[in-house]
Amino acid sequence: MNRLLSVVYGVFAYLLFLASWAYFVGFLSGIVVPKSVDSGRAAGALQAVAWDLGLLAIFFLHHSVMARAGAKRILTRVLPPAVERSTYVLVASLALDLVFWKWRPLPGVVWQAHGLARLVILAGFWAGVVVALAAANMIDGLQLFGVRQVLVHLRGRALTGAAFATPGLYRLVRHPLMTGILLSLWCAPTMSEGRLLLAAAMSAYIYLAVKLLEERDLRKTFGAEYERYQREVPMVVPYKGVRWDR
pLDDT at 201: 96
Q: Can you tell me the distance from the alpha carbon of 203 to that of 209, in angstroms, rounded to the nearest whole number? A: 10
Please count the structural domains in the chain. 1
Q: Can you tell me the distance from the alpha carbon of 197 to that of 52, in angstroms, rounded to the nearest whole number? A: 8
pLDDT at 71: 74
The rounded Cα 64 to chain-centroid distance in angstroms is 12
Q: Can you tell me the distance from the alpha carbon of 74 to that of 139, in angstroms, rounded to the nearest whole number? A: 27
Q: What is the pLDDT of residues 96-123, one digit of tens each?
A: 999 999 999 998 999 999 999 999 999 9
Q: Can you tell me the distance from the alpha carbon of 21 to that of 114, in angstroms, rounded to the nearest whole number? A: 27
pLDDT at 161: 65
Q: Give me the domain span that covers residue 204.
A: 3-245
CA atoms within 13 A on the CB side of 98: 17
- Residue 176 above 90 pLDDT? yes
Q: How confident is the model at residue 191 (pLDDT cuts 50, 70, 90)?
A: very high
Cα first-last separation, the chain: 43
pLDDT at 79: 81
DSSP sequence for 169-185: GGGT-S-HHHHHHHHHH
**Mean pLDDT, range 15-28, rounded to an integer:** 95
pLDDT at 1: 62
- Residue 158 above 70 pLDDT? no
Q: What is the pLDDT of residues 193-227, one digit of tens each?
A: 999 999 999 999 999 988 888 888 888 888 889 88
The rounded Cα 96 to chain-centroid distance in angstroms is 10
- Residue 246 above 60 pLDDT? no
pLDDT at 125: 96
Residues comprising the chain, all counted: 246
What's the mean per-residue pLDDT of the chain? 87
Continuous H helices in the chain: 3-29, 45-66, 69-78, 84-102, 115-138, 141-144, 147-154, 176-186, 193-209, 215-222, 224-232
CA atoms within 13 A on the CB side of 70: 3
Q: Can you tell me the distance from the alpha carbon of 193 to that of 199, in angstroms, rounded to the nearest whole number? A: 10
- Per the DSSP assignment, residues forming a β-bridge with 109 are 192
- Residue 244 above 70 pLDDT? no
Beta-strand relationship, 109-112 and 190-192? antiparallel
Nearest partner of 149 among 65, 87, 215, judged by Cα: 87
Q: What is the pLDDT of residues 43-75, one digit of tens each?
A: 788 999 999 999 999 999 888 887 777 777 787
